[in-house]
Chains A and B, each alone.
Chain A
Amino acid sequence: MSVKIDETLTVECETGNYHTFCPISCVSWLYQKIEDSFFLVVGTKTCGYFLQNALGVMIFAEPRYAMAELEEGDISAQLNDYEGLKKLCIRIRKDRDPSVIIWIGTCTTEIIKMDLEGMAPKLEWEIGIPILVARANGLDYAFTQGEDTVLAAMAHRCPEPEFSVRERKETIQNFLTFHSRKKEELGEYANHPSLVLFGSLPFNVASQLNLELKRQSIKVSGWLPAQKYTDLPSLGDGVYVCGVHPFLSRTATTLIRREKCQLIGAPFPIGPDGTRAWIEKICPVFGVEPQGLEEREKRIWEGLKDYLDLVHGKSVFFMGDNLLEVSLARFLIRCGMIVHEIGIPYMDKRYQAAELSLLQDTCKKMCVPIPRIVEKPDNSNQIRRIRELQPDLAITGMAHANPLEARGISTKWSVEFTFAQIHGFANARDVLELVTRPLRRQKNLEDLGRTTLVRK
């Protein structure tokens, strides 16, 4: 089979027989992000086994998540779901006292049609703790999309702004004389409608992005999710929102349709090019002329020189499992790499429109053809293509990493990109640190001359 490379951007679709993490894995980073939450995964032993093994040592650190393990009686409806969940939630309230309990619906609850959305409000009223429902199941979603379902559910719980935007502008003006702090802020920030960013990022990374926008005198009024459930940002008519992750299309849709927010469509702040483009899309919305971005981007690129020399001209193959692929590929192309294929579980062309057009521009700028984008890839076909293309690096899941390495193909475990800090100017180096690690290792072991370690 030959590999077709095209000038225009096309998205192919394969069989969907690919390896990825189950979307319930989102609890692992979300419970750490939202400090006062508790995640209850309503599922079977299979879900539990996955979490237990995928999250490794985290399990032993008294995590704020647990399984509501369904037994045969629950499946055959001999037991009362409502009473079962009530008992568990009361125990969670007693042991952990969270500000919110998030029920994660799984494949099993889908199939037996357990009415989680119906039970939640009733139980919430009865036990006095907010209960959110997110259907992060493997029937519908892949890996990081789990976060998307949770954030979409959470968006509904964001408070309404107390005043409409126009009213508030006036109020601020009126209050200025009394509020010294407000005055101070007004000096630093332009007077603009509120901006809420969505996507879960570690505290430090979120604060770096806040600072980045502050430099352009744009104030970030809140994040979805916030560090605490009780600090959810106000959303409503006239609030501008912008995503930081490529996999948040449901959240974006919810914010537009249900919360009446204005979505700023931008590339994602991954890599210095992405970060700059992201800021440049946000600034004009608030009538701000971006300052000093070109300089800044240039300086970051200069700082990456040692890594860029390593990756220049090397080829990459994304097998696709976490939806970060397009943004990463765009950054790597800009770094001078050749991308053979961008596998991706799901492609929302509308939500990713700005990112896709930046990809096109980047390809033009770097004079390389646009790589093929394969939605719902088929792993066994991909492995055949990898064998044919012999890329310098395959970005892939752990199921394929060791077997590919044994066949002389360098690999990088894709899940690391989800857990590493890759957003903003300052973290561009971390992305390349990950990408170059197999290449550097290979260089170190080069002289041993044993690259293929399987019997033919």
Chain B
Amino acid sequence: MKLAYWMYAGPAHIGTLRVASSFKNVHAIMHAPLGDDYFNVMRSMLERERDFTAATASIVDRHVLARGSQERVVDNILRKDQEEHPDLIILTPTCTSSILQEDLHNFVNRASIISHSNVIFADVDHYQVNEIQAADRTLEQVVRYYLDRCHRQEKWDQFLTDVPSVNIIGIFTLGFHNQHDCRELRRLLRDLDIEINQIIPEGGSVEDLQNLPKAWFNLIPYREVGLMTAVYLNKEYGMPYISIAPMGAVDMAEWIRQIQKNVNTLTLSSSNKRVDYEPYIDGQTRFVSQAAWFSRSIDCQNLTGKETVVFGDTTHAASITKILVQEMGIRVSCAGTYCKHDAEWFKEQIQGFCDEILITDDHAEVGDMIAHMEPSAIFGTQMERHIGKRLDIPCGVISAPVHIQNFPLGYRPFLGYEGTNQIADLIYNSFALGMEDHLLDIFGGHDTKEIISKSLSTDIGLIWNPESRLELSKIPRFAREKVERNTEKFARQKGIETITVEVMYAAKEALNT
């Protein structure tokens, strides 16, 4: 048992639901008590999703507790099957159902005999894995299910595509800037003359999964989710994969070189066309991306040696740390991640780029560290933004968990060459604001003249009695001044001299009329 106010990664079923709702025509059924379908609210609000989220709950209530779910789960699966005709139904356990220990596998087996849709049981343990790990596992499970099935049916077509092609694995609903990143990757690959075989899970169809092995290799932009699938495809089908995140100019170049290597290795066997992407890298880095020039400009010179703290998921925290240090000459006092399960990789990546490494999922520990370091800027999650607010340190948000403002409508990729521009803006603006703030502080604010009261009220002749004064003080601050003004206006109109609680509410009613 531990005391917790806030968590970086959600519970396991959220990960499974994110996989399910990313695919087209896949429905998730949660075995959960009333209120656990909060995922639908998040998706509908954060992503401003226009369609009904394809996740429903098979409600666990008092009766289920006493007698078991019995027919209920199977009925709910069959009902969804008939109403929506999904390709796949994923039965998703929640923390409640994992301790009930009902034989959900059995329900799935029974339902899959009768239903037209395929039915699988998401194999995630609530008390072992978090949202991110569960998403990784579920994606692999779905891919494995469809490839195995295809194998069994022996309608196997294992020829590679004629031209170089890739799968992009790990674009998700509710992922941090995933939609924009995906668009940026498409553009990049088009520039490199590489076809996209499939993008999963976002917008993908499970029926097409059998064609995954036709791609030449796999791209895993975010290592948190998708790596398990890539490893599986590598083991079973010998598909190479690139798990570098193409974030920042240096890693971009490395990513493209790896693509080149893979393309050339596989091309060699069929023809003699070798690709050379070096001129492309050079052109993009110097002229399309402004980041390389930006880091040489005077602006960026002022950032030299400034101290920062970075915290987030492994992919974003590691990449941003490297960008700050090697591309902008900024010092990273501490870099950290909440992905404890992938700590080794993280440490290895940022070795030598920062003074300290913090691996924790306790936000209080992160807060203490920031307070102790007193950096000029923080790059972290929404939590670090709030820590920064409290400590008066500016913060750029670089990683999930995030709020609605991190699902911008405008084009804001973190990956690719356009991503380097976005990141440079983000970093520079965080610092510039901090600097401006600091200068204002030194010179005593924008406006040193005494501020003339906006209030219409004058103190002449109006007395607030103690009760009404108290009542007024209970009104939330943002509305208090308005209430005060309106009440006094009302009192003056009515010729009332002493303001009592009754007068206050009479004023409110009078204003209504």
Which A positions have Cβ atoms within 8 angstroms of B? Answer: 16-24, 44-46, 48-50, 52-54, 56, 59-60, 63, 66-72, 74-75, 79, 81, 84-85, 87-88, 91-92, 107-108, 110-112, 137-143, 203-204, 207-208, 211, 299-300, 302-304, 379-380, 383, 397-403, 406, 425-426, 428-429, 453-454
**Given A139-B62, A402-B50, CB of A20 within 8 Å of CB of B4:** no
Are A53 and B42 neighbours in the complex by a CB distance under 8 Å?
yes
CA distance A107 to B126 in the complex (A): 14
List the B residue with the shortest CB-CB distance to A44. Answer: B95
CA distance A89 to B313 in the complex (A): 32
CA distance A302 to B416 in the complex (A): 61
In order of increasing CB-CB distance, the 5 nearest A-B pairs are A22-B35, A303-B513, A138-B33, A84-B1, A399-B40
Q: Secondary structure at chain B's binding surface: helix, strand, loop or mixed?
A: mixed
Smallest CB separation, A373 vs chain B (Å):
19
Smallest CB separation, A217 vs chain B (Å):
14
**Given A68-B1, A139-B60, A204-B471, CB of A397 within 8 Å of CB of B509:** no
B interface bracket (residues with beta carbon within 8 Å of A): 35 or more
Which of B9-17, B260-268, B292-300 binds A?
B9-17
Are B35 and A71 neighbours in the complex by a CB distance under 8 Å?
no
B95 partner residues in chain A, CB cutoff 8 A? 44-46, 107-108
Most B CB contacts (10 A, CB to CB) among A71, A204, A399 go to A399
What are some 10 contacts across the A-B interface (CB < 8 A)? A44-B95, A45-B11, A46-B13, A46-B94, A69-B1, A69-B2, A302-B513, A303-B513, A402-B49, A428-B512
**Given A17-B56, A46-B11, CB of A398 within 8 Å of CB of B33:** no
Are A16 and B1 neighbours in the complex by a CB distance under 8 Å?
no
**Given A48-B4, A71-B127, CB of A401 within 8 Å of CB of B44:** yes
**Given A44-B126, A399-B41, CB of A85 within 8 Å of CB of B65:** no
User: Is the CB of B345 closer than 8 A to any CB of chain A?
Assistant: no
B505 partner residues in chain A, CB cutoff 8 A? 208, 211, 426
Most B CB contacts (10 A, CB to CB) among A22, A49, A54 go to A49
CA distance A35 to B50 in the complex (A): 40
CA distance A54 to B42 in the complex (A): 9
User: Is the CB of B3 closer than 8 A to any CB of chain A?
Assistant: yes
Partner of A72 from the list B10, B57, B60, B127 (CB cut-off 8 Å) is B127
Are A70 and B512 neighbours in the complex by a CB distance under 8 Å?
no
Smallest CB separation, B185 vs chain A (Å):
24
**Given A203-B474, A426-B509, CB of A403 within 8 Å of CB of B44:** yes
List the A residue with the shortest CB-CB distance to B34. Answer: A138
B7 partner residues in chain A, CB cutoff 8 A? 45, 48-49, 52
A74 partner residues in chain B, CB cutoff 8 A? 1
Are A20 and B99 neighbours in the complex by a CB distance under 8 Å?
no
A46 partner residues in chain B, CB cutoff 8 A? 11, 13, 36, 94-96, 126
A112 partner residues in chain B, CB cutoff 8 A? 99
A110 partner residues in chain B, CB cutoff 8 A? 65
From 344 to 364 in chain B, residues with beta carbon under 8 angstroms from any chain A beta carbon are none
User: Is the CB of B184 closer than 8 A to any CB of chain A?
Assistant: no
Partner of B38 from the list A54, A137, A403 (CB cut-off 8 Å) is A54
Smallest CB separation, B440 vs chain A (Å):
24
B208 partner residues in chain A, CB cutoff 8 A? none
CA distance A110 to B99 in the complex (A): 11
CA distance A143 to B38 in the complex (A): 12
CA distance A71 to B40 in the complex (A): 26
Partner of B59 from the list A17, A203, A304 (CB cut-off 8 Å) is A17
Are A398 and B96 neighbours in the complex by a CB distance under 8 Å?
no
Smallest CB separation, B67 vs chain A (Å):
13
Are A406 and B51 neighbours in the complex by a CB distance under 8 Å?
yes
B443 partner residues in chain A, CB cutoff 8 A? none
User: Is the CB of B52 closer than 8 A to any CB of chain A?
Assistant: yes
Are A71 and B2 neighbours in the complex by a CB distance under 8 Å?
yes
Known: A21-B35, A111-B65, A454-B50. 10 other contacts (CB 8 A): A17-B59, A20-B35, A45-B10, A71-B2, A85-B1, A139-B65, A204-B474, A399-B41, A399-B44, A400-B44
List the B residue with the shortest CB-CB distance to A399. Answer: B40
B3 partner residues in chain A, CB cutoff 8 A? 66-69, 88, 91-92
A81 partner residues in chain B, CB cutoff 8 A? 1
Smallest CB separation, B409 vs chain A (Å):
14
Are B99 and A23 neighbours in the complex by a CB distance under 8 Å?
no
Q: Secondary structure at chain A's binding surface: helix, strand, loop or mixed?
A: helix
CA distance A53 to B513 in the complex (A): 38
**Given A110-B65, A139-B62, CB of A399 within 8 Å of CB of B37:** yes
CA distance A406 to B44 in the complex (A): 11
CA distance A276 to B5 in the complex (A): 43
Partner of A67 from the list B4, B33, B48, B59 (CB cut-off 8 Å) is B4
From 371 to 429 in chain B, residues with beta carbon under 8 angstroms from any chain A beta carbon are 383, 386, 389, 403
Smallest CB separation, A336 vs chain B (Å):
18
CA distance A187 to B234 in the complex (A): 88
B36 partner residues in chain A, CB cutoff 8 A? 22, 46, 50, 138
CA distance A74 to B76 in the complex (A): 31
Partner of A138 from the list B35, B52, B83, B508 (CB cut-off 8 Å) is B35
A428 partner residues in chain B, CB cutoff 8 A? 512
Are B513 and A143 neighbours in the complex by a CB distance under 8 Å?
no
CA distance A21 to B40 in the complex (A): 11
Are A398 and B41 neighbours in the complex by a CB distance under 8 Å?
yes
Partner of B5 from the list A67, A70, A397 (CB cut-off 8 Å) is A67
Are B34 and A139 neighbours in the complex by a CB distance under 8 Å?
yes
Smallest CB separation, A303 vs chain B (Å):
3
**Given A207-B501, A406-B50, CB of A56 within 8 Å of CB of B512:** no
A20 partner residues in chain B, CB cutoff 8 A? 34-35
B58 partner residues in chain A, CB cutoff 8 A? 17
Interface string of B307-349 (1 = CB under 8 A from A): 0000000000000000000000000000000000000000000
List the A residue with the shortest CB-CB distance to B83. Answer: A380
User: Is the CB of B191 closer than 8 A to any CB of chain A?
Assistant: no
User: Is the CB of B433 closer than 8 A to any CB of chain A?
Assistant: no
Are A107 and B33 neighbours in the complex by a CB distance under 8 Å?
yes
Are A403 and B52 neighbours in the complex by a CB distance under 8 Å?
yes
**Given A111-B99, A399-B37, CB of A16 within 8 Å of CB of B5:** no
List the B residue with the shortest CB-CB distance to A397. Answer: B41
User: Is the CB of B502 closer than 8 A to any CB of chain A?
Assistant: yes
A69 partner residues in chain B, CB cutoff 8 A? 1-4
CA distance A94 to B300 in the complex (A): 47
Are B35 and A142 neighbours in the complex by a CB distance under 8 Å?
yes
Smallest CB separation, A408 vs chain B (Å):
11
Smallest CB separation, B143 vs chain A (Å):
26
Are A71 and B1 neighbours in the complex by a CB distance under 8 Å?
yes
Smallest CB separation, A344 vs chain B (Å):
14
Are A403 and B512 neighbours in the complex by a CB distance under 8 Å?
no
CA distance A110 to B60 in the complex (A): 12
CA distance A112 to B49 in the complex (A): 37
Smallest CB separation, B433 vs chain A (Å):
19
Smallest CB separation, A126 vs chain B (Å):
17
CA distance A71 to B33 in the complex (A): 19
A84 partner residues in chain B, CB cutoff 8 A? 1
User: Is the CB of B61 closer than 8 A to any CB of chain A?
Assistant: yes
Smallest CB separation, A57 vs chain B (Å):
8
Are B100 and A111 neighbours in the complex by a CB distance under 8 Å?
yes
CA distance A63 to B4 in the complex (A): 12
User: Is the CB of B456 closer than 8 A to any CB of chain A?
Assistant: no
Partner of A137 from the list B33, B512, B513 (CB cut-off 8 Å) is B33
Smallest CB separation, A169 vs chain B (Å):
27
Interface string of B71-85 (1 = CB under 8 A from A): 000001000000100
From 475 to 513 in chain B, residues with beta carbon under 8 angstroms from any chain A beta carbon are 475, 501-502, 505, 508-509, 512-513
CA distance A56 to B56 in the complex (A): 23
Partner of A139 from the list B37, B57, B61 (CB cut-off 8 Å) is B61
User: Is the CB of B6 closer than 8 A to any CB of chain A?
Assistant: yes
Are A44 and B38 neighbours in the complex by a CB distance under 8 Å?
no
A399 partner residues in chain B, CB cutoff 8 A? 37, 40-41, 44, 53
B38 partner residues in chain A, CB cutoff 8 A? 21-22, 49-50, 53-54
